[in-house]
Structure 1
């Protein structure tokens, strides 16, 4: 059989603390038997009651840890842990009964030192099954069934709420998906427009470059013509530019032969 330390270090630690309290309770009740003064007995009983409260809290922690590990352990280990828990409860209840016996023997009967209903685990619905009557077992079973039904109702409510939230989330996701699809289409349109604009800019750039070349050529032609005119004005007898149309000097006038013949006559 596996030890508590092999199952859980926390369980082993809690069990060690409970064992220390049980030893302190045993020594405390032995000491209580030797005390004759009622006031000292009452103070000693209060101290023992505080230790039993602490032991009760530790057993509850032990039980919670056992329930948390229930799905991890094999059936034999779970059986061992439950038996260990029941033995702790039984031992605590024995000290509770002993405390009640000493409290009833005090001349000044004090009010029950445990706060709230029940001492140990008697009223915590964790009585040993062997100590229960058939009616108690049936009542306890009915109570557990009622609690189970309530838990199922709460679970159903949570499931319905989860379904509603899931439906709303699905609708929101669908709307967002449609919105994203529209955004993607708009981005595609923008990309196409940018591409067309880029092509248009390139065509305009080529046209501007062509126009600039033409303008530069016309400018050179105009400059050349102006230069030739200036040279002709400055040096009209320059033979290099006589053959240029419009810039050559006028041809000398020639007399017709018949007019000269007439003059001789």
Structure 2
């Protein structure tokens, strides 16, 4: 069932500016992998801003108002699997999804655009200057190359592509993929994580995407051009260290997720 898009009424006066938003958004299967050089006990805390609420988690643990949770797990260094202490569940990764809270939209005469260095699931949108547009049939290869340079291992890349491409784009019958990847620091603003002991490397990849039809391609000239450039440019955009992310002697955390713009 789609969320109610009604956000109430505003007292707008002459001269006020209005920030049009891209939402609502749908978060597609964020997962967290923990890879350690030896078996260790790890606490993973996740906290969301008010514009988001946790909708699904696995393994299931108590949630504080659907905004905060803590997993306590034991890592297995041989294969990267995890054992959740409370349930003794043996899993490959930690899983969570969230839904947008439109009631959290600021009720002011004129809504202000979010800071450029933050991600907000309600007010952020795709922009021609920092996105790419490619035909849907080319998306799997492009995504695989991009995710590989960002430090995602084979299973993570496969899971991401099958989730985003097959689950969303193929079902929507769109001809082109419009996408961007947010800087880690911006993503951390919306979904902050606190992991103890502190990892040597944290890689968090959040892609904002939308399917578009060919009739709208003229609106995205730079994004089309950018899609032809070397995918290594995403490394600086996201702010990751692929070399350290692949160093098996380090305690590494990897998280990926996709945020679909629904309208």
Q: Report the TM-score when normalising by structure 2.
A: 0.21
As a proportion of its length, which structure holds more strand?
Answer: 2
Larger Rg: 1
* Greater relative contact order (CA < 8 Å, ≥ 6 in sequence): 2
As a proportion of its length, which structure holds more helix?
Answer: 1
Q: Report the TM-score when normalising by structure 1.
A: 0.21
